[in-house]
Chains A and B, each alone.
Chain A
Amino acid sequence: MEQFTSVGKRIPKSDARDKVTGRVIYMEDLKVPGMLYGRILFSKFPHAKILHIDTSKAEKLVGVRAVLTGRDIPPIRFGFLKDNVPLKWGKVRSYRDEVAVVAAIDPDIAEEAIHLIGVEYEALPGVFDPEEAMKEGAPLIHEVDARGGPLESNVLALPWKLVAGDVDKARTESAYIAEDRLKTPWVTHVCMGTMGIIAEFDLRNNLTVYANTQIPYLAQRDYNEALVAMGLRGSRARLIQPTIGGGFGSKLDTYGQDYIAILLAHKTRKPVKIQFTREEEFFATSPRQPTIINIAQGCTEDGRLTFRDVSMILDNGAYASWGATTPSVMMMPISSLYKVPNVRYIARCVYTNNTWSQAMRGYGNPQATFAIECNLDHLAEEAGIDPVQMRLVNSNTPGEVTPQRFKVTSCGLKECIERVAGSLNWESKHGRGDGRGVGMASLIHVGGGARVYKSDGCGTIIKVDDFGTVDVFTGATDIGQGADTVVAQVVAEVLGVGAEDVNVIDNDTEVCPWDVGVHASRTTFVACNSAIGAAKKVKEQILELAAGYAETQKDKDGTKREIKLDDDPGNLVIKDRMIYSTGDPEVKIPLGKILRGSHYRTGGKMVMAEYFYDPNNENLDHEFKGNLSMTYAYGTHGVEVEVDRETGKVTILKYIAAHDVGRAINPMLVEGQIYGAVSMGVGYGLTEQLVFDKGECMNPSFRDYKILTAKDVIPVEPIIVETMDRDGPFGAKGIGEPGCVPSAPAIANAIYDAIGVRLHDLPITPEKILRALKEKEGTEIP
């Protein structure tokens, strides 16, 4: 067993002291001298022509410094398909379309001013159901694509299709088949801190942006493109991130309000801030995309999976952000959760006049896993096989290459299933149908980065000061998950200093090295591997400086003694901020002394190193196959529920969450990720839904959008399975997203076990349970 000083320890999050004292600065708290406040006027229609906009009254209001509409701005296009513009002109396609914007000297004036803007609309027929939107003759949301080419359908021209093996043949050869249709709703991130941005230009037209983004370097590129569109070629964008009040995927893209703030700052030559209200955060940020899923799976007599056939329709909403690309990640569980030789998956994303979607914790995986795991229980029942056995028989194993060509290295799935079944007391609890039931679901997720872009890289720079304190400049972003802390821990471990001696700087594109962003549960794996690479180089430099170092030391009794470190750096170690000769542990010199010695001499040297780590994973090829991640994370959740047949209320009695995390670099932070993700996953299963009525968000408040509160605490018991991944930093894999993936299907399966009805439409509310029970009993539904 290795002896570590920092890795594996429950070290408090680096910024926790500043957070508990209220000292950290979030976007909400940040003011720049002279700053103006921007406020956006959103559309009053889900689909309409804009005939005329009258801004004259708003412009005359005292304190207003600028009013902009789509007429006044250069052609900036953004979003995955570049189908979106910061301020709309010609027509609006959703209630969250930005129609006009005001900058004023205080937020109240800005608010008053947007109400003075007169917009004349001509309503157009809207379409709010993706299946309706696919029909011939449905209102067209976009008449042309980003290049001006005509569009004839609301179905996005995206090639989401994965085929491996022969599904049709496997279907005919299967002993048992189960088919289901499932639906998942819009849910939203509900970051406690809302979206915000401050944009400011200097006299050379260089742009500084303060934003709570998850993608500082990709956003920088987007902003640089916008500067070019604004005629400011040669200007550059710098991005500074204040403390971020939650991410969960919501800040993985650049948005209309970003460009609007930049345009206002340029027009007014003042810093301009746009901070979303809570209501705007609910209706004008991008939620998780809803899906309609048809799934069939088959198995042999003894329960081995023969095929998985999935087709899916995604409500894309009015514009394309990363939400339109989530099918690429849904392919992962569809092809590779359990061993299934024949796979077919087709997804269609359809424009509607609804809100448009984005990444949210799991990036499509929660929707796909809901379908797979509910349907797998159905199949197990058809085959007369216990659901645990069904999962064990088909479990992934090390050395396997999946139909999508994922190379399974470490894999603790079997252990997760077995330990969950054991902790739940499955054999005695399952199959009683007496109002109490147990259910289970597993997951696979990328755990070793994900080559979504051409690069999956992260840079690190380390410098060491005069006293042995280490500054680590990382491309990684902390959104509360603890990137700052685990990076410090691995650097401390390599350098032989304490984690408290390591200062992580991670919030300024002008200071920190490049990274693709905090997504895909990649930060621990990629940023820590990068930090370890830089730390090893630094260590080498320090030991070279220390080799052969000699000095006279005085003992306590005053006797002088000559000591000398080994001449060979290979025979030196750093431990507890001291440098030792391995041959003679009595010979030791403080690290700080060596470093100072290097600075205070002629021809001195600065101890400093950089390292860029880009994992050896693959982009998916044209068939959407390839080893997307260096390693994969697995887990199984098991839940025991009690369902009240009178009220439809579900009570979670027990919740076991087993996760293969490779190694827990910080078990306390790992637990924090699991607890938080389960809370979100259970919300997805039981309570959360962003409700839209003809495109209008009906519940944009905490009162009406039900995240779990402390009164609903889920009694989560985490089981951390350590498989020591060969490529992971000290063996670790990602754990940011996995915890919210299998909750909903585990609960749905437990409800079936309790009361014998399958609920395939999230969230599983008491009304839906009562309705299903009545349908089962054949009674009239009122």
Chain B
Amino acid sequence: MKNRLSFTLNGDRVEVEVEAYWTLLHLLRNHFELTGTKEGCGKGECGACTVIVDGMAINACLYPAMELEGREVLTIEGLTDEEGGLHPLQKAFVEHGAVQCGFCTPGMVMSAKALLDENPKPSEEEIRTAIAGNFCRCTGYIHIIKAIKAASKGR
């Protein structure tokens, strides 16, 4: 039994039929083919699937698609500007070596975006807390924290 709902996805209004048991992650990756949002565990433990819903960073793998009615969803694909230019956070991640294998990167960037939107000049401690739920095995987080700091200074 599918349910019809409408919400805003990366600035566009979308209407979609979803099964009651679908997660936002399933909807994004399989229906919209927005594969920038990654599934790292499917259990809300690793943060690879982080997207922003109504300004809050959430784990898309735990978020029921049925909750989306009328909400605003932002994924990594919605972060670049209309000409494909990088968001300052994306730019900082590139320039500061915050990307290695890159699998955690989209989720990490989205967590950082939600943080800076709410707190434009976070302390290092606040940055660490904001990305504490985003696991990375390549970088030791150091270049990532540096990138988020740089992006916050650029604002």
State the A residues within 8 Å of B (CB): 10, 12-13, 15-17, 19-26, 28-29, 189-193, 243-248, 277-278, 479-482, 668-669, 671-672, 675-680, 701-703, 707-711, 713-714, 716
Please give, as numbers and ranges, the residues of chain B lying within 8 Å of A20 by CB-CB distance. Answer: 76, 86, 90, 93-94, 99, 102, 105-106, 109
Whether A482 touches B100, Cβ cut-off 8 Å, given contacts A17-B94, A22-B77, A277-B42, is yes
> How does the 8 Å CB contact mask read for B105-137 relative to A, with 1 for contact and 0 for none?
110010000000000000000011101111111
Interchain CB contact under 8 A, B140 and A678: yes
Contacts of A710 in B (CB 8 A): 127-129, 131-132, 134, 136, 141, 144-145
Query: CA–CA, A24 to B103, complex, Å?
Result: 9
Q: Is the CB of B101 within 8 A of A707?
A: no
Verify if B41 is at the interface (C-beta below 8 Å from A).
yes
Residues in chain B near residue A16, CB distance under 8 A:
93-94, 99, 102
By a CB distance below 8 angstroms, the chain A residues around B143 are 668, 671-672, 675
Q: Is B75 in contact with chain A by the CB < 8 A criterion?
A: yes
Provide a sorted-by-A list of 6 A–B residue pairs whose CB atoms are within 8 angstroms. Answer: A13-B97, A191-B101, A246-B138, A669-B97, A707-B135, A709-B135
With a cutoff of 8 Å between Cβ atoms, the chain A residues found around residue B36 in the complex are 21-23
**A679–B86 touching, CB < 8 Å:** no
- Judge whether A19 and B99 touch: CB under 8 Å: yes
How far in angstroms is the closest Cβ of chain A from B22?
A: 11
B152 within 8 A of A: no
Question: Knowing A701-B41, A713-B145 touch, does A24 contact B102 (C-beta < 8 A)?
Answer: yes
Q: In the complex, what residues of B have CB within 8 A of residue A15's CB? A: 99, 102
CB distance from A389 to the nearest CB of B (A): 31
Query: Is A716 touching B40 in the complex (CB atoms < 8 A)?
Result: no
B8 interfacial contact with A, CB 8 Å: no
Residues from chain B with Cβ under 8 Å of A10 in the complex: 97
Known contacts A17-B86, A23-B36, A669-B97; A676 and B138 CB within 8 A of each other: yes
Q: What's the Cα separation between A507 and B95 when bound, in Å? A: 25
How long is the Cα–Cα vector from A650 to B93 in the complex, in angstroms?
Answer: 31
CA A22 – CA B144 in complex, angstroms?
16
Chain B residues contacting A481 (CB-CB under 8 Å) are 100
- Complex interface: chain B residues within 8 A of A191 (CB): 101, 103, 137
The answer to whether B80 touches A21 (Cβ under 8 A) is yes
> Across the interface, do B35 and A278 meet the contact criterion of CB distance under 8 Å?
no
A701 to B44 CA separation, bound complex (whole angstroms): 11
How long is the Cα–Cα vector from A699 to B142 in the complex, in angstroms?
27
Q: Is the CB of A679 within 8 A of B141?
A: yes
Q: How large is the interface on B (under 10, 10 to 19, 20 to 34, 35 or more residues)?
A: 35 or more
List which B10-47 residues lie within 8 A (CB) of chain A.
29, 34-43, 45-46
Does B128 contact A707, Cβ atoms closer than 8 Å?
Answer: no
Contact indicator B103/A675 (Cβ below 8 Å): no
* A117 CA / B67 CA spacing, docked (Å): 36
- Report A-chain residues with C-beta under 8 Å of the C-beta of B39: 28
Extra contacts, 10 of them, besides A12-B94, A710-B131 (Cβ < 8 A), are A19-B99, A25-B35, A28-B35, A277-B42, A675-B143, A677-B140, A701-B41, A702-B41, A707-B135, A716-B142
Cα–Cα, bound, A709→B86 (Å): 26
Q: How far is the CA of A154 from the CA of B29 in the complex (A)?
A: 47
Please name all residues of chain A whose beta carbon is closer than 8 Å to the beta carbon of B40 when the two chains form the complex.
192-193, 278, 702
Q: Is B41 touching A713 in the complex (CB atoms < 8 A)?
A: no
In the complex, whether B58 has a CB less than 8 A from a CB of chain A is no
Q: How far, in whole Å, are A357 and B53 apart by their CA atoms in the complex?
A: 42
Interface string of B38-66 (1 = CB under 8 A from A): 11111101101000000000000000000
B133 CB contacts on chain A under 8 angstroms = 709
Q: How far is the CB of B55 from chain A (nearest CB, A)?
A: 20
Q: Is the CB of A22 within 8 A of B94?
A: no
Contact A713 B128 (CB under 8 A): yes
Query: B5 interface residue, CB < 8 Å from A?
Result: no
Question: What is B's interface to A at a CB cutoff of 8 Å?
Answer: 29, 34-43, 45-46, 48, 75-77, 79-80, 86, 90, 93-97, 99-106, 109, 127-129, 131-145
Chain B nearest CB from A461 CB (Å) reads 26
Most buried by B among A10, A29, A189, A710: A710
Contact in complex: A246, B37 (CB < 8 Å): no
A711 touches B129 (CB 8 A): yes
Task: Find chain B residues with CB under 8 A from A189 CB.
Answer: 137
Q: Check B140 against A679 for contact (C-beta < 8 Å).
A: yes
Closest to A705 in B: B45
- Are A12 and B95 in contact (CB-based, < 8 A)? yes
Q: How far is the CB of A165 from chain B (nearest CB, A)?
A: 39
Contact of A701 (CB < 8 Å), options: B37, B43, B96, B109: B43
Q: Which residue on B lies nearest to A189, using beta carbons?
A: B137
CB distance from A495 to the nearest CB of B (A): 24
Contact B97 A672 (CB under 8 A): yes
B139 and A21: CB pair below 8 A? no
Bound-complex Cα distance A716 to B102 (A): 21
Q: Which residues of A contact B97 (CB under 8 A)?
A: 10, 12-13, 668-669, 671-672
**A282: nearest residue on chain B (CB-CB)?**
B41
Chain B contacts of A192 at CB under 8 A? 38, 40, 46, 48, 101, 103-104, 135-138
Interchain CB contact under 8 A, A22 and B139:
no
CB–CB A13/B100 < 8 A: yes
Contacts known (A24-B102, A245-B102); A672 close to B139, Cβ less than 8 A: yes
For B139, list chain A residues within 8 Å (CB).
672, 675-676, 679
Please determine whether A278 and B41 come into contact, CB atoms closer than 8 angstroms: yes
Report the bound CA distance from A481 to B127 in whole Å: 24
Say whether B90 contacts A21, CB under 8 Å: yes
Q: Is the CB of B102 within 8 A of A243?
A: yes
CA distance A345 to B131 in the complex (A): 45
In the bound complex, residues from chain B placing their C-beta under 8 Å from that of A677 are: 140
**A709-B135, A711-B132 known; A676 vs B140 contact (CB < 8 Å):** yes
* CA–CA, A490 and B38, complex, Å: 33
Contacts of A23 in B (CB 8 A): 36
- Bound CA span A678–B140, Å: 7
Smallest CB separation, A275 vs chain B (Å): 10
| Interface residue from A21, A244, A676, A707 paired with B77 (Cβ < 8 Å) | A21
Report Cα–Cα, A771/B46, bound state, in Å.
Answer: 32
B95 neighbours in A (Cβ, 8 Å): 12
CA distance A709 to B37 in the complex (A): 20
Q: Do A21 and B86 form a contact, CB below 8 Å, given A480-B138, A675-B139, A675-B143?
A: yes
Complex Cα distance, B48 from A222, in Å, reads 33
B101, A479: Cβ atoms under 8 Å? Answer: yes
Most chain A CB atoms below 10 A, which of B40, B79, B100: B100
User: Whose C-beta in chain A lies nearest to the C-beta of B41?
Assistant: A278
**Do B38 and A680 have beta carbons less than 8 Å apart?**
no
Which residues does chain B contribute within 8 Å of A21, judged by CB atoms? 36, 76-77, 79-80, 86, 90
A702, B59: Cα distance in complex, Å: 14
Establish whether residues B140 and A713, one from each chain, have CB atoms under 8 Å apart when the complex forms.
yes
Determine which residue in A23, A25, A247, A680 has the highest number of CB atoms from chain B within 10 A of its CB, and name it: A23
Chain B residue at minimal CB-CB distance from A485: B97
- Which 10 A-B residue pairs are closest in the complex by CB-CB distance? A22-B36, A480-B101, A19-B102, A679-B140, A675-B140, A245-B103, A22-B76, A192-B103, A480-B100, A702-B45
Query: In the complex, what residues of B have CB within 8 A of residue A19's CB?
Result: 99, 102, 105
Chain B's closest residue to A675 (CB) is B140
